[in-house]
Amino acid sequence: MKQKYEEWCTHATLDEDLINELNEISNKEDEINDRFYKDLEFGTGGLRGVIGAGTNRMNIYTVMKATQGLANYINKNYKKPSVAIAYDSRTKSDLFSKYAASVLANNNIEVHIYKELSPTPTLSYAVRKLGCSAGICITASHNPSKYNGYKVYGDDGCQITTEAASKILEEINKLDVFNVSYSNFDEEIENGKIKYIDDKLLDDFVDDVYKLSVHQPTNNLKIVYSPLNGTGKKCVLKILEKQGFSDIHLVEEQAMPDPTFKTCKYPNPEKEEALELGIKLANQVDADIVLATDPDADRVGTAVKYNDTYKLITGNEMGVLLFNYICENIKLPKNPICVKTIVTTDMAYDIAKKYGVEILDTLTGFKFIGEQIGILEKNRHVDSYIFGFEESYGYLSGTHVRDKDAINASMLICEMASFYKSKNLTLIDKLEELYKEFGYDKNELVDYTFEGIEGMKKIESIMDYLRNNNIGDINGIKVIEIKDYNVKQNTKVDLPLSNVLSFYLDEDQKFIARPSGTEPKIKFYIEVKGRSHDDCEYKIKRIKEYIDSLI
């Protein structure tokens, strides 16, 4: 690690911030170890890590090395390769995107890059519309401000498959991080190897989202919206105005791009703090609904006015509401299909049964939902797809992209709220109707953060304990079945092996344990069914107590 550090001190000269950081940690052994004990892992989600100097950090060099590996893979598999690039509002996102473009151009790969920061779903859209061989999105989604990331998309507009990621990683591993060649970005713009994406493509994207509208709103819903200092503002405002909503109030403190996210340290719409300023403004203007999209605008969180206060709606609850709204209000195709992840609420099965919809369960990550859309398309059944969602606030009602889309979701949520408002119902009222029809259901996510080398070992030890101790009961609740997704499962969807464990308990209770693929966390997804909200709360509490004692 010390040797790698010294090598970086000699060669990492392109970015002054890296030079300063390397000098600052010269006598800090723990800091050096954390930056150099491994290479930042490249997988199906690409790269994601803390911004800074070192092999285990997001910086110009790790980005260029990954891009050269991608370039080698593309040139082996495509005759006239091209790549689309988008980036978000995070620190160095624009810089990383330009260096990625310059490496690709140097490898005679045509590049199409957005002129300004743009939502992740618009990257998936550009790949397909421009007929590109691949796509790159520089983003760390909803992570804290110290993170950035590098997502890779295939020619189908979906995040790369496990197989493609493995082949790209093979190419990356052949490379020296300081021996990657690149062109001059401005010169490549002049000679046409790098092209800016025309503004019309963004308009086309919004138009295609608008086609997915279920009902034209009949009342002017009062909306508060926050892009959480990210990329969503332009597209979300365009789609809402296109629908006819005019009473829209923007959270000004979070309206413009800000890589520090100083108003919200964790810009994740799953978390209550992300909607605090939006709810404050909603109280001032007496809004019906509050929306917040994460920095790359692929997730959206919601709060709605209910009994003179604002109540947050979870990702599972919103998924159920949207799924039911779509089934209830569109002419369903023959053999309709909804795709969700294994950690997403099983209440979807109750709604699916009522409307005759088939549910396909995938591993965690919207890329697996996008993959199923691609399979349907190849088999000429893509019209069967009506909705896809995951508990982490990701939704998609069309096939215009192959990733979750907060612009699509924001449109549907607002028109759905307007639709039920015309029937004197809030979204909370409608949710309560569904619970009375299908039974009370509650989901809760519990996660624990363990950073660095020791943290990684801790997470591994927790999973090993759960996997190898033949657990028969959880805090007095009988364990009926354990599914280990590291072993092949008999499922409708052919799932790749994954470090995930599902515990099915007595009385319609379960929890799923999995290490996060993007953060140093272990996550536990709890779901229970009960006679009432209080009964569900009690059951959740018992399982959480067990998990706390386990940790």
CA distance 498 to 495: 8
List C-alpha distances in Å: 508 to 324, 480, 535, 539: 22, 10, 12, 10
What is the end-to-end Cα distance of the chain in Å, rounded? Answer: 30
CA distance 517 to 41: 10
Question: Taking the alpha carbons of 372, 319, 386, 436 in that order, is the dihedral positive or negative?
Answer: positive
Q: Nearest-CA neighbor of 474 among 448, 513, 445?
A: 513
Neighbouring-strand partners of residue 446: 524
406 token code pair:
């907060």
Task: For residue 133, indicate whether it is catalytic.
Answer: no
CA distance 194 to 368: 30
DSSP 221-279: --EEEE-TTSS-HHHHHHHHHHHT---EEE-GGGTS--TT-TT-SS--TTSGGGGHHHH
Given the residues 118, 141, 183, 384, select the one marked as catalytic.
141
390 token code pair:
């995951």
Neighbouring-strand partners of residue 110: 82
Cα angle 218-219-225, degrees, rounded to a multiple of 5: 120
CA distance 247 to 356: 37
Three-state SS annotation for 342-368: CCCCCHHHHHHHHHCCEEEEECCCHHH
Q: Nearest-CA neighbor of 117 among 99, 143, 91, 142?
A: 91
Chain centroid to CA 519: how far? 12
- Please state the φ and ψ torsions of residue 47, each to the nearest 5 degrees: -115, 145
Quick one: angle between helices 427-438 and 347-355, nearest 10? Answer: 80
DSSP assignment letter at 42: -
Contact 150, 33 (CB under 8 A): no
CA distance 495 to 99: 35
Alpha helices in 379-426 (DSSP H): 406-421
DSSP assignment letter at 7: H
Three-state DSSP class for residue 15: coil
Token pair 């080698």 is at which residue? 72
Which positions are catalytic? 141
